[in-house]
Homo-oligomer: A and B are copies of this chain.
Amino acid sequence: MPGRTQRKFTDSLGKQPLADFKVGVDNAIFSVDTSQNRLLVLLVMRHQEPFLNYWGLPGTLVRQGESLEDAAYRILAEKIKVKNLYLEQLYTFGGPNRDPRESVDSFGVRYLSVSYFALVRFEEAELIADGVSGIAWYPVKDLPQLAFDHSDILAYGHRRLKNKLEYSPVAFEVLPELFTLSDLYQLYATVLGDNFADYSNFRARLLKLGFLSDTKVKVSRGAGRPATLYRFDAEAFAPFKDKPLVFI
């Protein structure tokens, strides 16, 4: 489990031989459905053992000549088409016996999982249905039982996503180039939950920071006053790198 550890030493293995590993990559791919205020995660139905017919995170084993990150992009590209995304490494799970395959089809080969988390734009993400395999967005508040330790990975990814939003401009990787302040607010509010600042304060704070440039263009969406479109100005954001809680 990620996080804090405090433990006694256990050095009693003597001089065991080295373990041989296959390395897997599992992706926790999130998106935000702003129309329904839901945070979603991409799950795929497994069609082979172990955990046949369970939902799980899209994953793959790393191939020769392929970097970990390459593998993460490959499996992502096999499941959805997106133009914009944010991706970063999460955590590496590697205890012995975490994967049932270790006991059966192998001579002591261990399976290690490097997990990645990604954020993609829901509206532009096209799921790739290959005819057989189930693939679907699930609300993180209402998940089925998952294969392996994928619920742990997901919980950890969710926590990381919330933290990221608070200090880094990930949101803009996933918003269209031009967006309204409510778009931005919706995204924050649905990811961070309800005990989040109110709209007018969020608005005032962000505008004051000065890295959102007003395009003067208005857009009308149904009823109500038309909203101004803004653009994220990466240069103007530079001074805020490494500063905590920019967005709170």
Contacts and interface: CB of A to CB of B under 8 A. Distances in A.
Contacts of A108: 64
Contacts of A110: 23, 64
How big is chain A's contact interface, by range? 35 or more
A220 interface: no
A245 interface: yes
B21 A23 contact: yes
Contacts of A91: 89
Given A19-B62, A19-B63, 8 more contacts: A7-B69, A9-B74, A16-B63, A17-B64, A18-B22, A19-B64, A62-B94, A166-B244
Contacts of A200: none
A110 to B, nearest CB: 8
Nearest to A24: B18
A227 interface: no
Nearest to A78: B11
A13 B67 contact: no
Contacts of A95: 67-69
A114 B20 CA distance: 15
Interface string A50-69: 00000000000111111111
A10 B73 contact: yes
A180 interface: no
A163 to B, nearest CB: 8
B92 A18 contact: no
Contact of A6 (B13, B17, B20, B86): B86
A136 to B, nearest CB: 22
